[in-house]
Every structure is written in C-alpha cells, then in structure tokens.
Amino acid sequence: MIRIAIAGYGNLGRGVEAAVTNACDMELVALFTRRDPASVKTETDIPVYSMEDAVKYKDDIDVMILCGGSAKDLPTQTPDMAKYFNVIDSFDTHAKIPEHFANVDKVCKESGKVAIISVGWDPGMFSLNRLYGQAILPCGNDYTFWGKGVSQGHSDAIRRIEGVVDARQYTVPVEAALDSVRAGENPTLTTRQKHTRECFVVAEEGADKARIENEIKTMPNYFADYDTTVTFITKEELDRDHAGIPHGGMVFRTGTTGLNNENKHVIEYRLQLDSNPQFTSSVLTAFARAAYRLANEGAKGCKTVFDIAPAYLHPASGEELRKNLL
Amino acid sequence: MIRIAIAGYGNLGRGVEAAVTNACDMELVALFTRRDPASVKTETDIPVYSMEDAVKYKDDIDVMILCGGSAKDLPTQTPDMAKYFNVIDSFDTHAKIPEHFANVDKVCKESGKVAIISVGWDPGMFSLNRLYGQAILPCGNDYTFWGKGVSQGHSDAIRRIEGVVDARQYTVPVEAALDSVRAGENPTLTTRQKHTRECFVVAEEGADKARIENEIKTMPNYFADYDTTVTFITKEELDRDHAGIPHGGMVFRTGTTGLNNENKHVIEYRLQLDSNPQFTSSVLTAFARAAYRLANEGAKGCKTVFDIAPAYLHPASGEELRKNLL
C-alpha cells in the first residue's frame, strides 16, 4: 500500500481523503493542518497532526499531497515539503509556473525527492490534451472553453461589491462558438464570443440593485469583456439551487493533414464535473501513484503532467494494461 | 533533423509521408517497398528502395515507421526491422497485442533498439484515454463508440457476397446511447444499442437485391447483432459520395467521487476524422519523435503509448511546454 499524507483540509484535502479511500493500492496515514489538530473533524479516521510536526513523520509517508492555495500557500509550502517528502501540488497560477517549477526542482535535486506540480484539470488534464493535440496535428488551432461551472474568483469579486450579501458566478461556453469549432471552421473568437457570465446575487435589503448590476457588468477584467447576466435571488434560493461546485469545459485541437492540407480533423476532450475540487483531488491522487513509483525507481526532481508516462498513473501492471486497455 | 524512413506505401505510408513533411524537426530519408522501386510514384521526392535492401541504410535512419498491415505484415516485419532500426507500428489486432509485444521486446532487448507498437487512435489515443479515465475515476464505467466512419473490414465482407460489385459500410454510434452516457446515466448497452451499420452497395446488373440485403443483414459477427440498413446505389454514386475514409468516435469514462459516491463526472474524448489513415499516420509520426528521443537517452525495448511521457511527442522543449501549454 502506498502511504499518502494530506497537507491542508479544505475542499481539496477532503477530496483527496475520499479519492485515496477509493483507491485500491493506497492508505491515508496522516493529515497535517495549520489549525489546532484537535479542532479538525475528518470524514475518515485519518490521524491529524500539526503542520509544523510534519517532518517527524517523514519516514512514514510515501507521498504528501499538498492541498493549499496557489496564491499564498504553495509557493513556499511545496519547496519546503519537497525537502523531506515526495510531493504533489495543484499550483494553478499559469504565469508563475516556470518560477515555481525552478524553485521546487532546485530543492528536489538536493533532497533526492520527486515533485509533480500543477496537477489537476487545468493545469493538468487540459494541458495534456493541448500537448497531445499539437503533437498530432501540428497544422491547426487550439481552443479551450471552460464551464458550465462556478468561478470562485468571479464569485468573490461580486461579493466585494457594497450591498452584496452573497453571490455565485457561472462561466458558460457559448454554444455557437462550440458548434463552429466542432464543425472544423477554425473560427477566430473574441473573449465575448467564447464565454458568457451568469451571476446570481443576494443583495442586502434596500440595496440599490441597479447600481450593483452596473458595477458587476462594468468591472474590468472580470466582467466588462463578457456578455454578463445578473439575477437577484434570495439567500434561501442561493443555498438551495447553487450549493454545488460544478465545472468542466473542453479542449479542442482542430487541424489538417495531407500535403495540401486536404483533410480536416477535430479532437475534443470534454469534462463535465459535478464537483470541481473532488475531480481535481482524484487527478492529484492518480499522480501521487506515479510519484511513488518514480521515486522507487530512483527518479528525483520536479516534474509536471507532461513528464509522466501514463502507465505510472494506473494501479494495474503494464502487462494487464496492454491486455485490457490497449 | 530526425531522419525518418517509411516501410510500405499504401494509405498509411502516404499519410506518414505528408505528416513528416509537415513536421518542423523531421526529414524523410527513405521509402522501402516490396514492389519494384522504379514503379512507385511518390508524392514527394523521397528516395525509394527495395525492402530487402533496408539493412544497408541502417546508419542513415533514426526511426523506421512501419506502414504494413496487422494481419500479414507486422507480426514478422516489426521484429525483423527492430533488429536494425528503432521502429513504430500500428499493430491493431487487439487480442494479439501481448504476443506481438513479447516478440518485439525480445528482439529490441538484443539489438538495443526502441520499438513503439500499436500506435494510432484505437489502439492509441483511445487506449490512452481509457487509461487516464480509469486512473482518475476508479469508481466508474468505460464506453467506447466508433464512427461515424468507414469500416474496411465490413465493406470487404459485403464485397465477398455474390452479385456485389462494390460496397461501403459506415459504423454509426446511436445518438440515444451517447445522450445517456453524456448524462452520466451509466447505461448497460447491448451491441445493438451502441452502433448501427449503414451499407451502400453496388449490385451487378440483374442481381437479386433482396437476397444480397438478406445475406448482409444476417451475416454473423459482422451484421447480425446490429440494426443494419442497406441502400443500393450506382457505381457512380459510390465513387462520388463515398470516396473518403472518414472515421472517429468517442471514449468516455463516467464515474463518481466522494466517500458516498455523491458526485458524478463525465470525461469524453472525441475524434472526428476526415481521413482515418492520415490521422493514424500523424499519431505514428508524433510517436516516432518520442522513439528517437528515448533511443538517444539509451532506452531500449518494446513500448506502447502507455509508456511514453507526453513531452517526448512534442517538438518544443520542456521549458517551452511548461510556459505555453501547462
């Protein structure tokens, strides 16, 4: 059994707890938290320890799955933990990945550990499909669509507006754009043509709803470049109808083959996820299996999903995979 | 530049010729044929040699892409060529893959060469998506649909019926089945519920069309288990409307996450291909890049798509991939 530990117990940590429990070849050996361990109520009977004591358990853990946030936690936590553990993280600030990779790789080369960073679905499975698509169809175009799904960042931006009690924002791909891409038309799409934004807002009693709606629709970066709809609902409706955290989307590679580019092809990878964090956790858990196997083979250093041969992710042997899945 | 040779010049070989020409980091150095080389007219100015002279060029070729058939050519050709060359093949007799793998691996271990077998889209990209899907969602179901596309095997089976001049058979996924899978309903589907078979048949003048239609619809293994439609057309209509070799299909993994399986997820990988052989050739060419790089690193032995880290397939460096695609 591969001995897995979790660092951080938010939505992602809880998802890893479930994913490891569902895996046939893994066991949960520790949960590390920055809160008082006695205050943390877990879903399973995993032992809970203080984050600062983690190093004491370094010989008892094969892979540490880091479930902190990309903004504040992972930039320091991943390199710190890679001194003692093989680690997996879901660092998703795309622009800062090269810097994060370099920091983690340096530590891993010294400690002899394996890290796999930026694991999840975007970055993660979507990235893999962008790579496979470009490698197979070098003459072509990439398209990534997100949704329908909840954007936490956009929901938070609405909540910061005066008079807003709570909000939920859905990113929705535009059907006409999807149809055009699927038809192999290789459209050039503006931001507005790709996604719409649907906002469900709970306003304070007596708040100026027209002002709130205007502030949302004109907010730079977040909403101004999109067709945005704002619907005011009650707190009860929000809790009843918008409690989930669904997400998903599609990665397309469309391109041509032939000496005269005479044949068109469309590759589509699509995710429909009831729970964004639980799916991300499931991807993290599969890559933890790869980190364990790579470390056992003597590998060290920082890696990404691009560097992992797919067979490392699946519990079955190479022989079984060739027989049953190839 | 990676020096590529092609063995066999049918639809697949012609596709590789185009794919290598479109690749930024490869050059075509030789085409080997069992025909008289002087009789082979190529699309590009690639030198054509006799297959039996291939070994003379072993130091001039980095990777040999084998474009023969799975029934008669590849079982002997792949191990023979792997004595002298890094090789790629598209061996697609699923049941015989373990045996083929063992034969090729034995030769490669002795010769120090790299082989990647069963490359294409099924086996190939579809296999990869079955693996990724199972690894991420261990609690779930697999579905593979093919089409809409031309099945050469089924077209050939119709052509063998007395009174048939020519025929084209399309495999078509059933929309209701796709809808159910996409909705996460995890249906149990019979053969008949998954695909229909559409046959376009040119009959000899005066042939008994009712008998031909009956022979098709009742043919065991090929048609009896499917809802099959037969449409008689003229040779001119066949040549005008059914000259292409389109194919494609979808691989789904549907499953649940959470300690109580409370959240559903649907992963879909879909291909829509104008030209089945050209797309397969494009996949072969991408994996030739991986074989070249692996051989340069000192790897040897037989591998499949499951064993190849995705980064090996793309011409860009790891640094560029992390910056632009992750």
- The ipTM is 0.97
Q: Are strands A227-232 and A86-88 parallel, antiparallel or unpaired?
A: unpaired
Average pLDDT over residues B182-196: 96
**Which residue of chain B comes nearest to A247, CA vs CA?**
B265
pLDDT mean by block of 10 residues, chain A; 326 residues: 97 98 97 97 96 97 97 96 98 96 98 98 98 97 97 94 97 98 95 97 97 97 96 97 96 97 97 98 98 98 98 98 97
pTM (two decimals): 0.97
pLDDT value at residue B180: 97
Contact A171, A148 (CB under 8 A): yes
Contact B308 A305 (CB under 8 A): no
**Which residue of chain A comes nearest to B94, CA vs CA?**
A326
And the tokens for A204? 């304070």
**Edge-first strand listing for the sheet containing B263-273:** A140-146, A247-257, A263-273, B263-273, B247-257, B140-146
From chain A, pick out residues whose CB is under 8 angstroms from the CB of B125.
132, 136
Contact B299, A281 (CB under 8 A): no
Contact A267 B264 (CB under 8 A): no
Give buried/exposed letters for B202-240 (b at 16+ CB in 10 A, else e).
Answer: bbeeebeeeebbebbbebeebbeebebebebbeeeebee
Contact B139 A22 (CB under 8 A): yes
Contact A135 B21 (CB under 8 A): no
The answer to whether the Cα torsion of A26, A28, A29, A34 is positive or negative is: positive
Query: Torsions phi, psi of B114, nearest 5?
Result: -105, 130
Contact B149, B120 (CB under 8 A): no
Contact B268 A270 (CB under 8 A): yes
Q: Are strands A247-257 and A263-273 parallel, antiparallel or unpaired?
A: antiparallel
Average pLDDT over residues B60-88: 97
Residues 6 or more apart whose Cβ sits within 8 Å of residue B100: B74, B75, B78, B91, B93, B117, B118
Mean pLDDT (chain B, rounded): 97
**Which residue of chain B comes nearest to A96, CA vs CA?**
B323
Q: Considering CB atoms only, which of B265, B282, B309 is closest to A272?
A: B265
CA-CA distance, B122 to B130, in Å (whole number)? 10
Residues 6 or more apart whose Cβ sits within 8 Å of residue A322: B97, B98, B101, B304, B306
pLDDT value at residue A317: 98
Contact B265 A257 (CB under 8 A): no
> How many angstroms separate the Cα of A248 from the Cα of each of A167, A180, B138, B270?
20, 19, 19, 15
pLDDT value at residue A303: 98
Q: Considering CB atoms only, which of B44, B307, B318 is closest to A306?
A: B318
3-class DSSP assignment, residue B3: strand
From chain A, pick out residues whose CB is under 8 angstroms from the CB of B21.
259
Q: Shortest Cα distance from B231 to chain A (angstroms)?
A: 26
Contact B26, B2 (CB under 8 A): yes
Contact A34, A51 (CB under 8 A): yes
Q: Considering CB atoms only, which of A265, A271, A304 is closest to B267?
A: A271
And the tokens for A273? 């996820």
Predicted confidence (pLDDT) per residue in B127-185, tens digit: 999 999 999 999 999 999 999 999 999 999 999 999 999 999 999 999 999 999 999 99
Q: How confident is the model at residue B102 (pLDDT cuts 50, 70, 90)?
A: very high
CA-CA distance, B162 to B166, in Å (whole number)? 11
Contact A144, A130 (CB under 8 A): yes
Residue at token pair 């936690």: A73
pLDDT value at residue B250: 98
Q: Considering CB atoms only, which of A257, A264, A289 is closest to B18?
A: A257
Contact B128 A97 (CB under 8 A): no
CA dihedral B256, B258, B261, B264 (to 10 degrees): -30
Cα end-to-end span (Å), chain B: 26
Contact A313, B308 (CB under 8 A): no
pLDDT value at residue B316: 98
From chain B, pick out residues whose CB is under 8 angstroms from the CB of A185.
none
CA-CA distance, B193 to B173, in Å (whole number)? 9
| Other Cβ atoms closer than 10 A to A218 | 11
Contact A311 B310 (CB under 8 A): no
Q: Shortest Cα distance from B257 to chain A (angstroms)?
A: 6
Residues 6 or more apart whose Cβ sits within 8 Å of residue A295: A62, A63, A86, A113, A114
And the tokens for B304? 């499949």
Q: Shortest Cα distance from B138 to chain A (angstroms)?
A: 7
Contact B137 A308 (CB under 8 A): no
